Amino acid sequence: MGLFKISGTVTAIGQSEFNNHHTLYAFIELVEPTGRRVMVQNVWVGNQVLATMNVGAEGEFCFDKFFAASKGLVSQLWGVKTSGGLVSFDRNMRTPLTFVHLALGIVLLPFGGVGMVFLVFALPQLVKLIGMIGARERMFYGQDHAEARRLRQQQAVRI
């Protein structure tokens, strides 16, 4: 589990289920510049990032693998930098899920210990989230402040 980045071209996208906040794909297949095919399974994509990700998109794709109680292991596609200049960065998904798991665990704990299942997964995620504060930003924007400023200016403004 954790952050990883793949550079390449999206060549295939599996079936999906969606709502107003995200789309969950069965898989996304990428071909790296070396020709190696990489298939990332169970991919959660927020709507902001979804706007920049489609078959044929080429660039850098940033993922975070974590556990979601209803879906199992999920790889969230949280950042895209296309070679065409489109940039998208999604800060949302993982943190709310961790707190939902914690809340469910605490609420369901008195009912025969059912909540322990949620707590077993939520507590390590919480520790990891605290340890990774700022890691997504560093991975996506890098250490060059001018480049980070340029990338932030290219992102869509939320209203």
Q: What is the DSSP string of 6-22?
A: EEEEEEEE--EEE-SSE
Q: Which of 97, 25, 91 is nearest to 62 (CA)?
A: 91
Across the range 57-71, mean pLDDT stands at 83
Is 70 exceeded by the pLDDT of residue 44? yes
The pTM assigned to this predicted structure is 0.75
Q: According to the model, what pLDDT value does residue 102 have? A: 82
Is 90 exceeded by the pLDDT of residue 35? yes
- In whole angstroms, give the CA distance from residue 16 to residue 146: 37
Q: According to the model, what pLDDT value does residue 60 have? A: 94
- In whole angstroms, give the CA distance from residue 47 to residue 76: 12
CB 83, CB 58: distance < 8 Å: yes
Is 80 exceeded by the pLDDT of residue 132? no
% of the chain at pLDDT higher than 90 = 30
Q: According to the model, what pLDDT value does residue 13 have? A: 96
Which element (helix H / strand E) includes 121?
A: helix 115-131
Across the range 110-119, mean pLDDT stands at 81
- For residue range 84-110, list pLDDT tens digits in order: 888 888 866 556 667 777 888 888 888
